[in-house]
Amino acid sequence: MKADLIIKNIGNLITMRGENKPRVKESMKDIEIIKDGYVAIKDGKILDLGKGLNEDLIGNDTQVHDAKGLTVTPGLIDAHTHLVHGGSRENEFSLKISGVPYLDILKNGGGILSTVRATKSASFDELYNKAKKSLNTMLSYGTTTVEAKSGYGLDIDTEIKQLEVAKKLNEDHPVDIVSTFMGAHAIPTEYKGNPEEYVNIVINEMMPRVKELDLAEFCDVFCEDAVFTVDQTRRILNSAKELGFKVKLHADEIVSLGGAELSAELKAISADHLMAASEQGMREMAQNNVIANLLPGTSFSLMKNYADARKMIELGVPVSLSTDYNPGSCPTENIQFIMQLGSLGLKMTPSEVLTAVTINAAFAIDKADQIGSLDIGKKADLVIFDAPNIEYIIYHFGINHVDRVYKEGKLVV
Ligand code: NIG
Ligand code: FE
C-alpha cells in the first residue's frame, strides 16, 4: 500500500504510543522519541511510522512534506473547555484584581450567571461565530480535539442551543469536538431559594432530552460550596450514568468538599480542578483510575494555589492538563501556555506535561483508541513544533511554537 502523505526528516518524533491505559507515575515520563523519523498517512490515518524513511510507501501520488528536522507530537487535546458562550467578563477583572473572591461575584449574581444572561440572549449564529473564532485560535496553538461543555443556559432551550452549536462546529470545523452536558453549572437565579427543584429539572427534564437528541457524551457538575453539594452532585451523576452518560466533575476547585472522593465513588472518568483535593481523595482516585484533569490556567487567572500535581503523580493518579477555556476563571484558548504552567506552576516535567495533553487527555474524553498518540491506525492528527525538543517548548514560554498542524492527514495550519 502507498501513502497519501509522508512527513519526513522529523528531528524528534514523539509518539506517546506504548500503553493502552492512562499513564501513571514513571510512565508519564517514559516517552518514545524517534530521532530522524517519518510518519506515513493514508485516508487520514497513520499507515506507518519509524526511523529514516520507508521508500516502499512512496507511490506516484504520494506527497512528501519535509519537517526540516523539527519536533513532532500528536495533536494536542484540550479535555476541558466551556467553548460555547456569549459575551465576556472583563468588567469583573478589576473586582478580581482588587481581591473580591470568585464565589462572591457568583453569589451576587455575576460570574457564571452573567455569562448565562449573555448566552441566553445570543443567537445561534452569534454563539457559533464566537466559538469558531476560539476554535481557530486553539488549532493555531496545536489543539486538534476539544471537549466542550454546556452550562451557560441553565434552561433546557439554551442548554440545547449551546450543544447544537458545538455539534455544528464539530461538523464544519477541522477540530473535533466532544460534548458534555453541564446543566448543573450554577443554580439559576430563579431557583436560588430552592436548588433541589432545579436539581430535579436537570435530572428529570434536561438530561433525558439531551440524551434523546444525542447531543452529549458526558455529564459534568460544578460540585462546590454554594453551588452543587456533594449529595446533589451524586444524585445528578448517578442519574446521568443510568441514562448512559459518562461522568466527570468539577471537584474541590476552591473549597475541599470531598469532590475527589466522590469522583472515586462514582468511578468518574475524570475529576477536574482539584486545587483543594484531600490526600485521601487522591488515594481513592488512584485506586479507581479516575484521571485528575488539572487546569493550571484557572489557578493563574484566579491568582490562587496550584493543584498538588506532584502528590497526585506520586500516589499513582493519572494526570491530564487542559485549558478550562471560559470567560470567567480562565479566558485563554492557548494550550501551550497551560503546558508551560504545567511545569512552572504544577512542577511537572516537560515529558509529564506532554503525556498530560496527549494520551492522558485522550483517556479523559474516552477517545484513546483514536487519538492521543501516533500509532498505526490512529487519526493522523499531529503538530510540527518549531523547536529542537519538547523542553524548549515549555522553557520558552508565552509564544506560539507551532510550525504546522495536520488534522486527519490534512495540513490545516
Ligand atoms: O471550570 N468552576 C466552574 N466553572 C468554570 C468557570 C466558569 C465561569 O466562571 O464562567 C471553571 O472554572
Ligand atoms: Fe470548567
CATH of segment(s) 5-74+374-411: 2.30.40.10
Ligand 1 atom closest to the Cα of residue 273 is 1
The ligand 1 site (C-beta within 6 Å) comprises 82, 111-112, 115, 222, 250, 253, 298, 324, 326-329
pLDDT of residue 19: 84
Torsion angles phi and psi, residue 269, rounded to 5: -70, -35
CATH class of 77-364: alpha beta
The one-digit pLDDT tens for each residue of the chain (413 residues) are: 999 999 999 999 999 999 899 999 999 999 999 999 999 999 999 999 999 999 999 999 999 999 999 999 999 999 999 999 999 999 999 999 999 999 999 999 999 999 999 999 999 999 999 999 999 999 999 999 999 999 999 999 999 999 999 999 999 999 999 999 999 999 999 999 999 999 999 999 999 999 999 999 999 999 999 999 999 999 999 999 999 999 999 999 999 999 999 999 999 999 999 999 999 999 999 999 999 999 999 999 999 999 999 999 999 999 999 999 999 999 999 999 999 999 999 999 999 999 999 999 999 999 999 999 999 999 999 999 999 999 999 999 999 999 999 999 999 99
282 neighbors 311 (Cβ within 8 angstroms): yes
DSSP string, 113-164: HHHHHHHHHS-HHHHHHHHHHHHHHHHHTTEEEEEEE--S--SHHHHHHHHH
Query: Hey, where are the domains in the chain?
Result: 5-74+374-411, 77-364
Q: Which helix (H) or strand (E) holds 35?
A: strand 33-42
- What is the residue with the minimal CA distance to atom 8 of ligand 1? 328
326 marked ligand binding residue = yes
- What is the residue with the minimal CA distance to atom 6 of ligand 1? 329
273 marked ligand binding residue = no
Torsion angles phi and psi, residue 326, rounded to 5: -160, 165
Report which DSSP code applies to 327.
S
329 marked ligand binding residue = yes
Residue 24 half-sphere exposure toward CB, CA atoms < 13 A: 18
Ligand 1 atom closest to the Cα of residue 89 is 10
328 marked ligand binding residue = yes
Q: What is the ipTM of this complex?
A: 0.97
pLDDT of residue 378: 98
Interval between CA 341 and ligand 1 midpoint (Å): 18
Are the folds of 5-74+374-411 and 77-364 the same? no
pLDDT of residue 263: 98
The three-state secondary structure class of 273 is strand
401 marked ligand binding residue = no
Interval between CA 224 and ligand 1 midpoint (Å): 11
- What is the residue with the minimal CA distance to atom 3 of ligand 1? 222
Interval between CA 49 and ligand 1 midpoint (Å): 40
pLDDT of residue 357: 99
